């Protein structure tokens, strides 16, 4: 082990904390699997322009992070008009800057062994039985003393590392770097984070985002202590201070990105030019989540002239921590940017008889989402798997999902029901001309043996199903007292209006309505069934009959070997904020988040500010998660799903690589032989007075950073008769579109 001078620098805990925070500005955040949400790996870099932050991340990771010629070629195949690009410049190999040990001149195999030592030690320490409630360092020392050799390193190295971890903390380790500046220490930290970005992201979540202590808790300071100590133990020479150098932006990569964006944006804007007319008060108004998978559903529903649709964040303005029926633990069903302000508990439901096969299928699907149960379930299922499969074959592969479900009785610990109702109705632009029925439609996925199942659920519900939030809001709005209070505030809901709730299964394209009286909603059920039939055929690449298309989707949702039960939010391009008249009739191809916005009822711009500051930010996170999972699938994405194994309940690893995998699996962004998701920044489209939009941008600091830093591209028009304008940083609105 290399000896270090422990007295040359005096660091205190506050200094260390500041250096760690600075070093982790380019580290992503990894949520546990059961509440996994898409997130921008660069969420702490909004003070820099997008191109600058991305170029810096490239330097730290040694990875090409721009769209390649493969992506532009695929876009041309889809009919987009793009310039040609030099394939030789598409993906220049880079090297990740070395850590303390890696700068010592050792060969690549030695560097891989030290990386494996750190990663496997993290893995063993976080997943061991912690009945004594030891901290991570103590568990790591226990692991080091229990194993003779793994990761290609000797037991002697393990003993020395254990001794160093027992006797030295992080500030003492840093004190040995005589003459290093704080900037160099930060750079050293960054390189350790970049060596194992998955573990770094998990540590960052525990430090900054976890509301409760996770059983596999690891802090960034603990991560750095172990990683740096391993380098010091393995080094035979004194490592030089790291050099901090800038990296030149890839002009070719940036050109490909902008060309892809211009081509895809143009198609969306052309679709929104369709003229539409106002409708009479319909029979049914449906409020869906803004999720891109709701756009085809809204389009299919509005084939029926009796239906009008709206878009709103899928937690429906209910800032709740929910305890579901029969569950001991609660979950937060709202955007992770928001703290829940009320608790809601399910008290019971009037259950109807359910098909036995459906009950068993749902039970098995739930078990395959539990990482600890997956392999045992697969092993034990063999005893009765053959008869079960044969039975399902005889029955036509699957039993259809129900179209109605009993209503759950919810208990709310709040007296502010009218405030919740008022905020929700104003936010979705539904404050007048109420239909006979108003249905709030949450959404959820239904998959089997899929550790990433939460990424297919509602992002606005923190990776959970949205049906519960829809029921809660419907219950609130059906209360006589709440309606009376709303009337005093200027919102009159007719006595004949009934609020209902349901849930859209995005995997099977089926809709279930919550009702205790199936006959009451029979007509509505048929409307939803007609729309979901259209969606099933639209999703079926072979364009078969409705029944065969439905069976295919249902099989995919229940097949343990299915790597792509649905595409999720892949191939999204834009976020549209507009009156429903602008959207009705526009075929946006499932590529747009759709948020309703009533210009007339938002004179002070407060609603627009809230849309830009919350739903747009969440959609931007989703956009960046898909972007980086596409351009760096094995580093910032989870890689090939068939190689992934769960780690506890909080992450996955690929094969024998000990780093946690970030982002989305490759099968979520690519087809077997070609890309599917085209990596572009989110285009935010707003139809509202331009000065109101400019005011909303200026009023929200984060939105200002997103727009001025070109993390998103903003396009707007005052009304349907106006031309489109694009926001140019430091200038404002430009009348010239470059696409």
What pLDDT digit, counting tens, does each position of 506-558 carry? 999 999 999 877 777 899 999 999 999 999 998 887 667 888 888 889 888 88
Contact at 8 Å (CB) between 178 and 159? Answer: no
Burial of 544 (0-12, 13-18, 19+ CB in 10 A): middle
User: Strand 683-687 relative to strand 713-717: parallel, antiparallel, unpaired?
Assistant: parallel
Say what the pLDDT of residue 214 is: 93
User: Strand 284-288 relative to strand 437-444: parallel, antiparallel, unpaired?
Assistant: parallel
Say what the pLDDT of residue 519 is: 78
User: Strand 331-332 relative to strand 320-323: parallel, antiparallel, unpaired?
Assistant: antiparallel
Burial of 128 (0-12, 13-18, 19+ CB in 10 A): middle
Count of other CB atoms within 10 angstroms of residue 142: 16
3-state helix, strand, coil in the chain (%, to 5): 45, 15, 45
Say what the pLDDT of residue 378 is: 55
SS3 state of residue 217: coil
Residue 220 vs residue 369, higher pLDDT: 220
Q: Average pLDDT for residues 276-282, to the nearest whole number?
A: 73
What's the rounded Cα separation, in Å, for the pair 373 and 449?
Answer: 10
Say what the pLDDT of residue 547 is: 86
What's the rounded Cα separation, in Å, for the pair 291 and 266?
Answer: 21
- Give, for 616, the enclosing helix (H) or strand (E): helix 615-631
Q: Residues 147-186: pLDDT tens digits? A: 656 678 888 889 999 999 999 999 999 988 888 999 999 9
Say what the pLDDT of residue 399 is: 54
Copy the structure tokens of residue 363. Answer: 């039970």
Q: In the structure, what pLDDT confidence band is assigned to residue 357 with cuts at 50, 70 and 90?
A: very low
User: Strand 732-734 relative to strand 725-728: parallel, antiparallel, unpaired?
Assistant: antiparallel
pTM for the full model? 0.92
Q: In the structure, what pLDDT confidence band is assigned to residue 13 with cuts at 50, 70 and 90?
A: low
Above 60 in pLDDT, residue 604?
A: yes
CA-to-CA separations, 469 to 352, 460, 514, 558, in angstroms, rounded: 21, 10, 12, 25
What's the rounded Cα separation, in Å, for the pair 632 and 648?
Answer: 25
What's the rounded Cα separation, in Å, for the pair 127 and 57?
Answer: 30
Copy the structure tokens of residue 617. Answer: 């930010």
Give one word for 271, left, alpha or beta, with left for phi > 0 and alpha for psi -120 to 50.
alpha
- CA torsion through residues 533, 538, 543, 549, sign: negative
Say what the pLDDT of residue 304 is: 94
**If you ran DSSP here, which 8-state letter would residue 283 be given?**
S
Q: Average pLDDT for residues 205-230, to the nearest whole number?
A: 95
Say what the pLDDT of residue 111 is: 92
Q: Residues 136-149: pLDDT tens digits? A: 999 999 999 886 56
109 contacts: CB under 8 Å, gap ≥ 6: none
Q: Average pLDDT for residues 404-427, to the nearest whole number?
A: 89
**Weakest mean pLDDT among 100-109, 657-666, 687-696:** 100-109
Q: Residues 546-563: pLDDT tens digits? A: 888 888 898 888 888 899
Q: Residues 26-85: pLDDT tens digits? A: 999 999 999 999 999 999 999 999 999 999 999 999 999 999 999 999 999 999 988 888
CA-to-CA separations, 342 to 196, 351, 459, 616, in angstroms, rounded: 38, 26, 19, 24
Report the percentage of the chain scoring pLDDT > 70: 88
Count of other CB atoms within 10 angstroms of residue 340: 19
3-state secondary structure 660-713: CCCCCEHHHCECCCCECCCCCCCEEEEECCHHHHHHHHHHCHHHHHHHHCCCCE
- Select from 615, 571, 678 the least CA-distant residue to 290: 615
Residue owning tokens 């209006």: 497
- Inter-axis angle of helices 701-708 and 606-613, to 10 degrees? 60
Say what the pLDDT of residue 189 is: 97
Residue 658 vs residue 355, higher pLDDT: 658
Q: In the structure, what pLDDT confidence band is assigned to residue 381 with cuts at 50, 70 and 90?
A: low
Copy the structure tokens of residue 309. Answer: 């649709």
SS3 state of residue 611: helix
Say what the pLDDT of residue 355 is: 41
Residue 362 vs residue 234, higher pLDDT: 234
Say what the pLDDT of residue 354 is: 41
Contact at 8 Å (CB) between 163 and 1? Answer: no
Burial of 276 (0-12, 13-18, 19+ CB in 10 A): middle
Residue owning tokens 């400019």: 694
What's the rounded Cα separation, in Å, for the pair 272 and 387?
Answer: 52
Q: Residues 627-654: pLDDT tens digits? A: 999 999 999 999 999 999 999 889 999 9
| CA angle (263 as vertex; 260, 264 as ends), nearest 5 | 85
Say what the pLDDT of residue 8 is: 39
Contact at 8 Å (CB) between 289 and 466? Answer: yes
Q: In the structure, what pLDDT confidence band is assigned to residue 620 with cuts at 50, 70 and 90?
A: very high
What's the rounded Cα separation, in Å, for the pair 254 and 51?
Answer: 8
Q: Average pLDDT for residues 587-592, to the nearest whole number?
A: 95
Listed as own residue / partner, the contacts of 476-485 with beta carbons closer than 8 Å and 24 or more positions apart are 476/318, 476/412, 476/417, 476/420, 476/421, 477/421, 477/425, 477/438, 479/417, 481/417, 481/418, 482/417, 482/418, 482/421, 485/418
- Select from 176, 263, 369, 253 the least CA-distant residue to 631: 253
Say what the pLDDT of residue 155 is: 84
């Amino acid at each position: 082990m290399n000896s270090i001078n422990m007295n040359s620098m005096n660091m205190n805990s506050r200094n260390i904390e500041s250096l760690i925070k600075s070093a982790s500005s380019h580290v992503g955040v990894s949520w546990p699997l059961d509440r996994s949400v898409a997130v921008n790996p660069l969420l702490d870099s909004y003070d820099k322009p997008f191109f600058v932050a991305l170029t810096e991340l490239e330097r730290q990771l040694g990875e090409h992070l721009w769209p390649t010629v493969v992506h532009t070629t695929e876009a041309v195949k889809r009919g987009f008009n793009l310039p040609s690009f030099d394939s030789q410049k598409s993906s220049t190999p880079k090297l990740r800057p070395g850590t303390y040990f890696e700068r010592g001149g050792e060969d690549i195999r030695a560097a891989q062994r030290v990386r494996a030592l750190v990663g496997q030690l993290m893995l063993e320490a976080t997943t061991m039985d912690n009945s004594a409630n030891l901290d991570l360092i103590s568990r790591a020392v226990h692991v080091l003393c229990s194993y003779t050799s793994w990761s290609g390193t000797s037991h002697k190295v393990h003993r020395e590392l254990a001794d160093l971890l027992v006797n030295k903390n992080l500030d003492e380790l840093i004190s040995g770097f005589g003459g290093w500046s704080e900037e160099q220490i930060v750079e050293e930290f960054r390189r350790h984070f970049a060596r194992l970005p998955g573990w770094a992201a998990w540590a960052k979540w525990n430090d900054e985002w976890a509301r409760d202590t996770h059983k596999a808790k690891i802090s960034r300071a603990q991560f750095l202590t172990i990683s740096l100590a391993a380098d010091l133990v393995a080094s035979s020479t004194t490592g030089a201070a790291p050099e901090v150098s800038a990296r030149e932006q890839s002009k070719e990569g940036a050109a490909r990105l902008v060309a892809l964006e211009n081509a895809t944006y143009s198609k969306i804007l052309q679709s929104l030019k369709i003229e539409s007319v106002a409708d009479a008060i319909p029979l049914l108004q449906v409020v869906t989540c803004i999720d891109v998978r709701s756009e085809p559903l809204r389009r299919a529903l509005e084939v029926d002239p009796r239906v009008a649709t709206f878009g709103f964040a899928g937690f429906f303005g209910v800032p709740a921590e929910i305890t579901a029926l029969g569950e001991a633990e609660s979950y937060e069903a709202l955007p992770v940017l928001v703290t829940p302000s009320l608790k809601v508990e399910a008290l019971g439901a009037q259950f109807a008889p359910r098909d036995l096969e459906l009950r068993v299928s749902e039970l098995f699907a739930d078990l395959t989402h539990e990482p600890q149960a997956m392999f045992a379930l697969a092993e034990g299922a063999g005893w009765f798997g053959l008869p079960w499969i044969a039975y399902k074959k005889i029955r036509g592969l699957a039993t259809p999902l129900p179209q109605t479900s009993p209503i759950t009785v919810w208990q709310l610990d709040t007296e502010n029901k009218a405030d919740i109702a008022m905020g929700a109705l104003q936010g979705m632009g539904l404050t007048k001309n109420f239909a006979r029925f108003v249905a709030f439609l949450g959404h959820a996925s239904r998959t089997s043996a899929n550790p990433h199942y939460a990424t297919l659920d509602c992002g606005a519900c923190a990776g959970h199903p949205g049906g519960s939030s829809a029921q809660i809001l419907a219950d609130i709005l059906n209360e006589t007292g709440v309606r009376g209070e709303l009337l005093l505030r200027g919102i009159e809901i007719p006595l004949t209006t009934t609020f209902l709730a349901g849930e859209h299964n995005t995997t099977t394209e089926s809709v279930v309505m919550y009702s205790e009286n199936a006959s009451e909603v029979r007509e509505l059920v048929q409307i939803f069934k007609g729309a979901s039939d259209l969606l099933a055929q639209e999703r079926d690449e072979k364009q078969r009959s409705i029944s065969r298309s439905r069976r295919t989707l249902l099989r995919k949702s229940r097949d343990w070997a299915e790597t792509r039960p649905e595409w999720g939010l892949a191939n999204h391009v834009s976020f549209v904020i507009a009156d429903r008249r602008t959207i009705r009739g526009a075929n946006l191809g499932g590529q747009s988040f759709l948020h309703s916005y009533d210009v007339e009822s938002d004179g002070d711009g407060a609603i627009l500010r809230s849309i830009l500051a919350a739903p747009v930010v969440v959609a931007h996170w989703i956009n960046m998660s898909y972007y980086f999972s596409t351009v760096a699938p094995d580093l910032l994405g989870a890689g090939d799903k068939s190689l992934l194994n769960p780690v506890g309940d909080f992450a996955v690893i690929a094969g024998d690589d000990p780093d946690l995998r970030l982002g989305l699996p490759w099968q979520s962004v690519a087809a077997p032989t070609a890309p599917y998701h085209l990596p572009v920044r989110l285009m935010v489209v707003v139809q509202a007075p331009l000065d109101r939009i400019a005011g909303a941008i200026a009023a929200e600091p984060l939105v200002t950073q997103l727009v001025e830093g070109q993390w998103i591209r903003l396009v707007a028009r005052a009304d349907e008769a106006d031309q489109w304008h694009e926001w140019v940083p430091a200038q404002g609105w430009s009348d010239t579109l470059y696409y």
